[in-house]
Structure 1
């Protein structure tokens, strides 16, 4: 009897990692963003990080880390829809922040390229950038755009 309980507990503990699935995000030809458990064939999809770190014992919780109420057993489909909506909202927020960052860095790059007499505040003092500093900042901006923007 004890072996059956032990075996059942072990299977239950191992099954939680098998339940966790990967979420993919992709944009179709019409520009609509989609999320799904399987990436579409023939399209590039990015993996969405849905893991939540577990709180460490002994540390005080922040307001944002308060435990969520236990999900209702009566509407599992509704719970999945709520989770899907939360993931979509999180991804949309991250995408909006990325777009804003890209817009800012592109504006900065345009100013760096079009204006050889730029001034910048360095160590609390406003001074003119040397040509080497300007070229270095141009390269940094181009690198940031290539790594983070479409």
Structure 2
């Protein structure tokens, strides 16, 4: 008997809630700039708009969010590139010295740390580099430092 009562009670609650799900709500801003919501539109000259109360996510919402995140990331990268280009134009010697210092730091880490992590450009996650990648990075750092030293002798 209790199962039947529970089922009837659940059905009654749902039946009572149904009008609220389909109810229309209105939104308007009064003369004082206060926003109001009600089930009835305002009386008088105040304009109102109907507000949708039941939200159903679109099937492509995840894709839209992903596209937005990708666009924001691309815009951030473009802004960083523009800032770096501006810095190079305005003070190329300082930027060059900063880059050379970074190459020296990288070489120091590669030579002295047993485990080195680097950002994976495809996933953006930090990963432990293997020996082959370490050797490649050592070679690149040494070549960059050689270039820095040759440039400074000029």
Which bracket does the TM-score occupy, shorter chain normalised? Answer: 0.3 to 0.5
Structure possessing the higher radius of gyration over alpha carbons:
2
TM-score by length of 2: 0.36
Give the helix-richer structure, 1 or 2. Answer: 2
